[in-house]
Amino acid sequence: MGMRYLLLLFAGMVLAGCISTQTVSGQGSRPKPKIDKNQPPITDTGNYREIDVKDSKAADAYEFLKEQLAGSHPEITLISATKAYSQVVAGFKIRLICSYRKAQNQENRLLALVYIDPGGNKRLLQLKLGYTGG
């Protein structure tokens, strides 16, 4: 009888181990998330990631920048946005690198940082004329 009891106990432990969803580390088994190879990862909250200059947020920030420059620097004519980066915060920060022309001078670059809050309100956080970075 004692041997049967031990065998039943052992079989119960083996069966319980096979049914359990717990791994050795204590983490439950979870299905792997589906990854769309065409979409950039959204796991980089807080980091800037490059986005297309035609992206709706980049285009919105570019139009806002044009309006801001018309009031504060009317001598500057924006030519185009050459690069755009997005940072997910409480809203979005859009970093734009744009080419511009000042009066009749040669083409130059600027760096602008536009914040778009969750309500869609925009604010120019930074403007650096004559930008030479990447």
Sheet with 48-51: list strands edge to edge. Answer: 48-51, 76-89, 91-102, 107-116, 122-129
CA 61 to each of CA 17, 26, 107, 131: distance values in angstroms, whole numbers, following the listed order: 56, 46, 21, 18
| Helical ranges in the chain per DSSP H | 2-19, 56-72
- Give 133 or 9, the one with higher predicted confidence: 133
Nearest to 68 by CA among 94, 104, 90, 105: 94
Report all structural domains of the chain as residue ranges with CATH numbers, in order of start: 48-129 (3.10.450.10)
Residue type, 27: Q
- Give 20 or 133, the one with higher predicted confidence: 133
- pLDDT confidence tier of residue 3, bands split at 50, 70 and 90: low
* pLDDT tens digits, 83-123: 999 988 888 999 999 999 887 788 899 999 999 999 999 99
Q: Which residues are CB-neighbours of 22 under 8 A, at least 6 positions away?
A: 28, 29
Q: Give the rounded percent of residues in the chain with a pLDDT score beyond 90.
A: 47
How much is the average pLDDT of 49-73?
93
- pLDDT confidence tier of residue 25, bands split at 50, 70 and 90: very low
The confidence score (pLDDT) of residue 20 equals 47
pTM beyond cutoff 0.85: no
The confidence score (pLDDT) of residue 96 equals 94
Long-range contacts of residues 39-43, Cβ cutoff 8 Å, at least 24 apart: 42/88
